[in-house]
Structure 1
Amino acid sequence: MLVALAPFAGPALAEDAALPIGDPERGAQVYRKCTGCHQIGPGAENRAGPHLNDIFGRRAGSVEGFDYSRAMERAHGDGLVWEYAQLDAYIENPRALVSGTRMSFRGIRDPRDRHDVLAFLRSYSASPQDIPESAPTAMPREVELPPEILQIVGDAEYGAYLASECLTCHKADGGDAGIPSITRWHPEDFVVAMHAYKRKLRPHPVMQMMAGRLSDEEIAALAAYFATLE
């Protein structure tokens, strides 16, 4: 049974002993839209968002070493704990549950998709008897890059100089007006995404054109700049 979190000032969530259990295998496919920011499974690290291992029962804003938004820090102080109903509400509409969150994802409206994703996430937390542990799931990169490209140390100052064109669409403060935020992306994820556009593996013609004009060093510089942008 879910316990109501009296101190937390988010929307009311009904208690429900019969929680819907989704399909973790289907959830793994739906989860792919989350992989640009969140890692899960053996060796998962913090990226633009914190890793999601052991998310069930974890207090919001509590992953060591991750720089949370002020909104998520407030949710932590208010006592928000990621149980099933809270996660379901957050995945449906992140900013309805945690107003001001830096997470730019617009949410998953389809209840079946949400329950399947939650079943997938649940398999990486301590599992109840009716949800078995899943096998480790490797999420391959969109494009495999040579180590020498991934090891380029970008010049953030040069990236700031190059970023003006990016900032005509992407908001520097991490806001989302229909265009995903790239603020505080992990540099490796940024580099992989840009090379995916460059190779036309990501289907956005404007981004393909812009990425195609950039050298490896310029992409690394932009990655360094956006990773540290407040």
Structure 2
Amino acid sequence: MKRILGTLILIGAAYASPGWAEEQAEEIGDATRGAQVYKKCSGCHQVGANAVNRTGPHLNGIYGRKPASVEGFFYSKGLERAAADGLEWDLEHLDAYLENPKALVSGTRMSFRGLKDPQDRHDVLAYLRQFSANPQDIPESAPTMVAREVELPPEILAIVGDPAYGEYLSSECQTCHQKDGSDKGIPSITRWPEEDFVIAMHAYKRKIRPHPVMQMMAGRLSDEEIAALAAYFKELE
């Protein structure tokens, strides 16, 4: 806490100097190293020009933003309650959330276990600071491109899944994944973007993702069945 408060004081002082944006990033942490640590987050959260919501909301402009405020993203009730209670994504609360999401916001659907190393958190926060226009006068940075786990042929990504067929297939998935979106010991797949779901399943199918049960399950599914499951879970309330 002392380090965070000291950082906030340094940030305030940096407004007076011409290079205050660069100084701020240095005082929070190492943004260059943070870009590497951020790869742990990039499977769910995009950042940079053209960033969109995926499994998690985009993180452009995260500083000064209220939780559950990105248009078009389906948030957990926990984050909605936190926003109603007045939580704001400032440096102190972002640091706490990165350390242990569920400790700060009970009921969050974010299944990330957290960054326990303070330096990792501060470096990621310095990296994210480059993509925030809050406070004022910090331009959005260039896009951060993250390669897909599996490069699939366009015709596979273009398959339009049948949600009704996906519901029929989903009973086996729901022996582990909770229909209500909770993640008791296992990640939620409710409301996943269809493309993310399809790519993840093909990554298991090709044994790029190292989970033997999921590799077995995905290996049984056709391209059309994967698309149907993706369509069903995308619209699941």
TM-score normalized by structure 1? 0.86
Report the residue type matching 1:146 in the other structure.
P
CA-to-aligned-CA distance 1:12-44 (integer Å, 9 cap, x gap): x77713255222222222222222321111111
Residue 201 of structure 1 deviates from its aligned partner by 1.1
**Runs of 4+ deviating beyond 4 Å:** 131-135
The answer to whether structure 1 residue 201 and structure 2 residue 213 are counterparts is no
Structure 1 unaligned runs (5+)?
1-12
Note if contact 1:37-1:185 (Cα within 8 Å) is conserved in structure 2. no
Q: Following the alignment from structure 2 to structure 1, what is the Cα–Cα distance between the partners of residues 51 and 140?
A: 17
Q: How many percent of aligned residue pairs carry the same amino acid?
A: 72
Q: Following the alignment from structure 1 to structure 2, what is the Cα–Cα distance between the partners of residues 111 and 45?
A: 28
Report the residue type matching 1:209 in the other structure.
M
Alignment correspondent of 1:179? 186
Moved more, 48-57 or 65-74: 65-74
CA-to-aligned-CA distance 1:169-221 (integer Å, 9 cap, x gap): 22222222322111111110000111111111111122111111111100011
Alignment correspondent of 1:45? 52
Q: Cα–Cα, structure 1 residues 46 and 95, in superposed 2: closer, same or farther, change >3 Å? A: same
Note if contact 1:184-1:228 (Cα within 8 Å) is conserved in structure 2. yes
Q: Following the alignment from structure 2 to structure 1, what is the Cα–Cα distance between the partners of residues 197 and 191?
A: 10
Q: How many equivalent pairs are there? A: 217
Alignment correspondent of 2:153? 146
Q: Following the alignment from structure 1 to structure 2, what is the Cα–Cα distance between the partners of residues 136 and 186?
A: 20
CA-to-aligned-CA distance 1:107-157 (integer Å, 9 cap, x gap): 2212121112111111111388xx997553211111111111111111111
1:137 paired residue among 144, 153, 169: 144
Q: Which has the higher helix share?
A: 2
Note if contact 1:104-1:174 (Cα within 8 Å) is conserved in structure 2. no
TM-score normalized by structure 2? 0.83
Mapping of residues 59-70 of structure 1, within 5 Å = 59-70=66-77
Alignment correspondent of 2:122? 115
Report the residue type matching 1:16 in the other structure.
L
The answer to whether structure 1 residue 167 and structure 2 residue 174 are counterparts is yes
Alignment correspondent of 1:76? 83
